[in-house]
A and B are shown apart, each in its own frame.
Chain A
């Protein structure tokens, strides 16, 4: 069965960096894109972008360029989200979501990773 498991909560100071992992299993890793979705406290879902698991090519949504980097380690079927120069407004839950094969919806989601940025 498909599983998407993310790393645990993080508490970081402003200006620091954080790297969130998203480990998948139960399917061929390179057949489906992986997307990142942000949810600020009490707010809705915001699509951050996706990474092509075949080529490693990332695509970033508006507002998520520069400090945000998507990467892969295909040997362990894992995607990563790195955020640098953290700000208080980066405090949110970050979800990894699998893009359904040849489709435009998200069929499996990780449990989410809470990133808290506070001095």
Chain B
């Protein structure tokens, strides 16, 4: 499995909305509604923010939302806040118990 493709960086001003794309193939993103998204601050473990495409774990802000079209999944962060400044990774199930991460996106809050 090759890593899913994400933009290296995305930036936005406080209050704006940004969208991060995650492009896979018909073997992973396109074949399953099982994309998850993780947020990682420097020196910290990743944190799950979206699972099964657009579900949020308890306690995660509803400013985070997910979607998918074909082989590309997307994470939208609305009402951007300073604490959203972090790295974001998508992940997709790829069958036979195996998953794959995306290349990661650095989000900068201007």
The yes or no verdict on A and B being binding partners is no
Q: Which residues of A contact B (CB under 8 A)?
A: none
Q: Which residues of B contact A (CB under 8 A)?
A: none
